[in-house]
Chains A and B, each alone.
Chain A
């Protein structure tokens, strides 16, 4: 069995666009002064293999539509998974019923008509994979086999899974804007368990891409999962102390996500950001530039227009260490009396300029300190920037890894961590839409024994 579109993608897209037009017309007929709607449809295959045997074969098929209606400055929303004509009408009616109870909000309106995307560039997001179940199983098994064969201490497995998804997304609003595009996403991941004496450790690795040809080889993904697992064996606690901390690239990406959350319009107008009133102020050392590229070809977070229909564009969020822009949609922009930045739905393909040093160079620069490779829990206070999280990693002395560490916490404050950023490595080695190397932070508190 293969994933094949039962009809041409263009025809399916046209049908979804027809749904949008029907929804918008129904809203108008019910007296709405404006409306916006989105419809999505996706299909996929996910297989997982554990200990060399097939564990699950899942066929996914999802539909959904959502509409927001405006009566002047009052609004109401409704959504459903049922795309039948009767359901479309009921959903619009439900949104209108909601709007009858909401109150005048001067910022409740569509984005400015002049900002609507005028053309929908092809961002090369659609690369369907005609993948049969048997072939999917073979690839997942190859990945898991490589992980299990990597080291005798790999004694168990959570398995490897391969997934392929194709989707269509259409958005339209009563300015007359309607836009849609198909996209695909494929991924392979593997998690294995290692044992040394009584203690077990687990780690994983993955690859993800718009086109199957861009995925990392299955074998390499498995070996990387095993390598990471084995490296954790024999981990122990260290004493409570203050020390420099090097965040491995993929955990440093989490610090970028905290930045994004703090400069997002919703956090700012709710006064729940530690970076409130920091626009045009230095929040990093002057070597830092952080850039968004929403129309990156094949980008995992790429989109030609945002959730308001506004065309997206590339921009620096931070340059020379100074915060240059907030991330706003039409609503939060209005609340902050600033124009939208085309970020309805979030930030797309973020990167930080990387420095000169590779992993070894970054460890040498730190000298003695903690190399953090995993963070646990939700200990980030968005309002104050206070940061306290469970961690695992390695203790480093004189630039050399000494032993793995676990059951510790690292704590500080994000504002001070950002200004205390010493260097960003060039060791970006993980998949995803956020590109960064490792981050060396001058000093944090480590709690342990």
Chain B
């Protein structure tokens, strides 16, 4: 009962009264001579959350989403239909609608085979019940108390804890039958601090594919509370940020959002097959300085961006995107891999059964260099040291990307100086990494709160990097 396929059968197929025979029939209805590929994606997702505000547990929510997405592919054409009703007639109707894309053709016989799981990066558990409700609520109260205890300038504290269990099962006309049971937990803390007529916010949090108990280990939950307070208090002292092009040192960990925006999206297979990416046709070319190696790695144990398999049943892998500055390859799903004549890299992801899969990142990070982070800061006479960020965005066609600081300091004479207000940094993806002149030995991954949006679909991801010096980047402050 500890096997994902067994869990998926028990939780999705059995309650709907669907048998092996029904699945065979369904795939037979869908697959046919006129199609290049077809798949059926079953999903059952449960979420529970608790919200603390103003010192009380104000709200909680429990939700179940379940349904089936059916896809038929013919060349570059995709037919897609889905149903939140899991019954044979509803699925047969969806299969007919999806396969209409290919026009007439012979139905085919498909033999499906259980696919042995390649990875066990997380256990197939249900995190919603991994900690009693009362203990989850008590944890939020401790987080609240810790934030308030830290400093009297803290005037508002809000915190939430979320646990998700996502059970997915994929059947494809290439014989794939694979399942994954994906736990995901997260805790977020946000505080407002006020002093001398100023008001600032600070936020922190973390998460993993694990039981809720993960939040209690290594003092994590209370650590997030202290970090949120520290950020709010730092921002209370912040001065206007500088404007213009300057040397920027990015801290380790979450600033890896730079990689996600500047190069990650541009290396997704769909944009390169369609040649709409600024990186299209550039495999083998230098796109970064010597020493820069960037990977997309879905195989890190317990990480928010990790997957035992992607949403097409392909085992996730560690894909080298840039090796010592040279562009090595793209991230692929099955459709784009087939059309480009390569293999899927296990990056076919979808938000849910009601969305089509496409190439998406998992955990994207830069490997460590050799420099001491202190030495990197000391090397800068005048510049910006940015250690925390809000969101980012990229235009993959022009290559321009932005990401916005939420904690940054001036560097003056090789020393970290005053904190500055949030500013957006803007650069050009295909050449920003050519200006990397120093790479730290302190690779860190983010705390596990990243969510990536693409074409209206959100998926959990991770980022990371060591401390890194970029010789010139445009900083969007107000002090010209």
Query: Does B441 sit within 8 A of A, measured CB to CB?
Result: no
Tell me the chain A residues, 214-269 only, with Cβ under 8 Å from chain B.
232, 235, 237, 240-242
Query: Does A82 sit within 8 A of B, measured CB to CB?
Result: yes
Once the chains bind, are A104 and B403 in contact (CB under 8 Å)? no
Query: Does B83 sit within 8 A of A, measured CB to CB?
Result: yes
Once the chains bind, are B404 and A388 in contact (CB under 8 Å)? yes
Partner of A389, one of B80, B82, B243, B402: B402
- Given the known interface contacts A101-B60, A240-B244, A383-B192, the answer about A377 and B80 at a Cβ–Cβ threshold of 8 Å is no
Q: Which residues of the partner chain A approach B275 to less than 8 Å between Cβ atoms?
A: 156
* A237 to B244 alpha-carbon distance, docked (Å): 11
Query: Does B65 sit within 8 A of A, measured CB to CB?
Result: yes
Query: Does A170 sit within 8 A of B, measured CB to CB?
Result: no
Tell me the chain A residues, 348-378 only, with Cβ under 8 Å from chain B.
376-378
B274 to chain A, nearest CB (A): 7
- The SS class assigned to the A binding surface is strand
B65 to chain A, nearest CB (A): 5
Q: Which residues of the partner chain A approach B479 to less than 8 Å between Cβ atoms?
A: 445
Closest to B137 in A: A101
Once the chains bind, are A81 and B84 in contact (CB under 8 Å)? yes
Query: Does A406 sit within 8 A of B, measured CB to CB?
Result: yes
The digit string for A102-135, where 1 denotes a CB below 8 A from any CB of B, is: 1111001000000000000000000000000100
* A159 to B199 alpha-carbon distance, docked (Å): 45
* A193 to B397 alpha-carbon distance, docked (Å): 8
Query: Does A146 sit within 8 A of B, measured CB to CB?
Result: no
Once the chains bind, are A411 and B57 in contact (CB under 8 Å)? no
* A376 to B97 alpha-carbon distance, docked (Å): 38
* A412 to B424 alpha-carbon distance, docked (Å): 12
Query: Does A61 sit within 8 A of B, measured CB to CB?
Result: yes
Partner of A378, one of B79, B133, B356, B404: B404
B88 to chain A, nearest CB (A): 15
Q: Which residues of the partner chain B approach A50 to less than 8 Å between Cβ atoms?
A: 76, 274
Q: Which residues of the partner chain B approach A421 to less than 8 Å between Cβ atoms?
A: none
Once the chains bind, are B57 and A97 in contact (CB under 8 Å)? no
* A409 to B245 alpha-carbon distance, docked (Å): 11
Once the chains bind, are B476 and A407 in contact (CB under 8 Å)? no
Once the chains bind, are B192 and A376 in contact (CB under 8 Å)? no
Once the chains bind, are A1 and B100 in contact (CB under 8 Å)? yes
Query: Does A386 sit within 8 A of B, measured CB to CB?
Result: yes
User: How many A-B pairs with Cβ below 8 Å?
Assistant: 255
Once the chains bind, are B59 and A376 in contact (CB under 8 Å)? no
Once the chains bind, are A98 and B94 in contact (CB under 8 Å)? no
The digit string for A273-315, where 1 denotes a CB below 8 A from any CB of B, is: 0001000000000000000000000000000000000000000
- Among A28-36, A197-205, A426-434, the one that faces the other chain is A197-205
* A446 to B428 alpha-carbon distance, docked (Å): 17
Query: Does A328 sit within 8 A of B, measured CB to CB?
Result: no
* A79 to B81 alpha-carbon distance, docked (Å): 23
Once the chains bind, are A54 and B200 in contact (CB under 8 Å)? no
Partner of B424, one of A53, A76, A100, A390: A390
Once the chains bind, are B61 and A158 in contact (CB under 8 Å)? no
Once the chains bind, are A58 and B199 in contact (CB under 8 Å)? no
Q: Which residues of the partner chain B approach A80 to less than 8 Å between Cβ atoms?
A: 63-65
Once the chains bind, are B78 and A56 in contact (CB under 8 Å)? yes
B433 to chain A, nearest CB (A): 16
Closest to B101 in A: A57
Q: Which residues of the partner chain A approach B199 to less than 8 Å between Cβ atoms?
A: 271, 276, 383-384
- Given the known interface contacts A271-B199, A388-B477, A388-B478, the answer about A376 and B395 at a Cβ–Cβ threshold of 8 Å is yes
* A156 to B60 alpha-carbon distance, docked (Å): 48
* A56 to B67 alpha-carbon distance, docked (Å): 20
- On chain A, which size bracket covers the interface? 35 or more
The digit string for A394-425, where 1 denotes a CB below 8 A from any CB of B, is: 00000000000011111111000000000000
- Among B21-29, B310-318, B385-393, the one that faces the other chain is B385-393
Once the chains bind, are A102 and B58 in contact (CB under 8 Å)? yes
Once the chains bind, are B79 and A57 in contact (CB under 8 Å)? yes
Query: Does A272 sit within 8 A of B, measured CB to CB?
Result: yes
- Given the known interface contacts A388-B423, A411-B243, the answer about A270 and B192 at a Cβ–Cβ threshold of 8 Å is yes
Once the chains bind, are A1 and B156 in contact (CB under 8 Å)? no
Once the chains bind, are A201 and B393 in contact (CB under 8 Å)? no
- Given the known interface contacts A105-B58, A388-B241, A390-B476, the answer about A200 and B84 at a Cβ–Cβ threshold of 8 Å is no
Closest to A58 in B: B80
Q: Which residues of the partner chain B approach A61 to less than 8 Å between Cβ atoms?
A: 81-84
Q: Which residues of the partner chain B approach A82 to less than 8 Å between Cβ atoms?
A: 64, 66, 84
Query: Does B201 sit within 8 A of A, measured CB to CB?
Result: yes
Query: Does B118 sit within 8 A of A, measured CB to CB?
Result: no
Tell me the chain B residues, 32-85 only, with Cβ under 8 Å from chain A.
48, 50, 53, 56-67, 76-85
Query: Does B480 sit within 8 A of A, measured CB to CB?
Result: yes
- The SS class assigned to the B binding surface is strand
Which of B57, B59, B134 has most chain A Cβ within 10 Å?
A: B59
Once the chains bind, are B474 and A407 in contact (CB under 8 Å)? yes
Once the chains bind, are A447 and B244 in contact (CB under 8 Å)? yes
Once the chains bind, are A56 and B77 in contact (CB under 8 Å)? yes
The digit string for A1-44, where 1 denotes a CB below 8 A from any CB of B, is: 10000000000000000000000000000000000000000000
Partner of B59, one of A75, A193, A388: A75
Query: Does A392 sit within 8 A of B, measured CB to CB?
Result: yes
Closest to B65 in A: A81
Query: Does B276 sit within 8 A of A, measured CB to CB?
Result: yes
Once the chains bind, are A272 and B156 in contact (CB under 8 Å)? yes
Query: Does B290 sit within 8 A of A, measured CB to CB?
Result: no
Once the chains bind, are A407 and B243 in contact (CB under 8 Å)? no
Q: Which residues of the partner chain B approach A59 to less than 8 Å between Cβ atoms?
A: 80-82, 94, 97-98
Partner of A376, one of B76, B156, B402: B402
* A120 to B155 alpha-carbon distance, docked (Å): 42
Closest to B400 in A: A407
Query: Does A381 sit within 8 A of B, measured CB to CB?
Result: yes
Once the chains bind, are B100 and A133 in contact (CB under 8 Å)? yes
Query: Does B427 sit within 8 A of A, measured CB to CB?
Result: yes
Once the chains bind, are A77 and B59 in contact (CB under 8 Å)? yes
Query: Does B278 sit within 8 A of A, measured CB to CB?
Result: yes
Query: Does B212 sit within 8 A of A, measured CB to CB?
Result: no
Q: Which residues of the partner chain A approach B393 to less than 8 Å between Cβ atoms?
A: 376-378, 390
Q: Which residues of the partner chain B approach A334 to less than 8 Å between Cβ atoms?
A: none
Once the chains bind, are B57 and A102 in contact (CB under 8 Å)? yes
The digit string for A87-103, where 1 denotes a CB below 8 A from any CB of B, is: 10011001101111111
* A53 to B101 alpha-carbon distance, docked (Å): 12
A396 to chain B, nearest CB (A): 19
* A114 to B158 alpha-carbon distance, docked (Å): 32
Partner of A392, one of B200, B278, B400, B427: B400
Once the chains bind, are A409 and B274 in contact (CB under 8 Å)? no
Q: Which residues of the partner chain B approach A388 to less than 8 Å between Cβ atoms?
A: 241, 404, 422-424, 476-478
Once the chains bind, are A241 and B480 in contact (CB under 8 Å)? yes
Q: Which residues of the partner chain B approach A99 to less than 8 Å between Cβ atoms?
A: 60
Q: Which residues of the partner chain B approach A158 to less than 8 Å between Cβ atoms?
A: 274, 276
* A87 to B404 alpha-carbon distance, docked (Å): 43
Closest to A77 in B: B61
Once the chains bind, are B398 and A102 in contact (CB under 8 Å)? no
* A79 to B64 alpha-carbon distance, docked (Å): 6
- Given the known interface contacts A242-B480, A270-B158, A447-B244, the answer about A411 and B423 at a Cβ–Cβ threshold of 8 Å is yes
Query: Does B354 sit within 8 A of A, measured CB to CB?
Result: yes
Q: Which residues of the partner chain B approach A53 to less than 8 Å between Cβ atoms?
A: 76-77
Q: Which residues of the partner chain B approach A91 to less than 8 Å between Cβ atoms?
A: 62, 64
* A201 to B421 alpha-carbon distance, docked (Å): 31
Query: Does B475 sit within 8 A of A, measured CB to CB?
Result: yes
Tell me the chain B residues, 412-448 only, with Cβ under 8 Å from chain A.
421-428
- Contacts A241-B480, A406-B398 known; list 7 others, CB within 8 Å: A200-B276, A202-B395, A271-B194, A377-B392, A378-B391, A378-B392, A447-B477
- 21 residue pairs bridging A and B, Cβ less than 8 Å apart: A76-B61, A77-B59, A77-B62, A79-B62, A79-B63, A80-B65, A87-B64, A98-B62, A98-B133, A202-B397, A237-B474, A271-B199, A272-B201, A378-B391, A379-B424, A381-B201, A383-B192, A406-B400, A408-B426, A411-B478, A445-B477
Interface pairs A-B: 6 shortest CB-CB: A409-B476, A390-B402, A377-B402, A202-B397, A98-B60, A447-B243
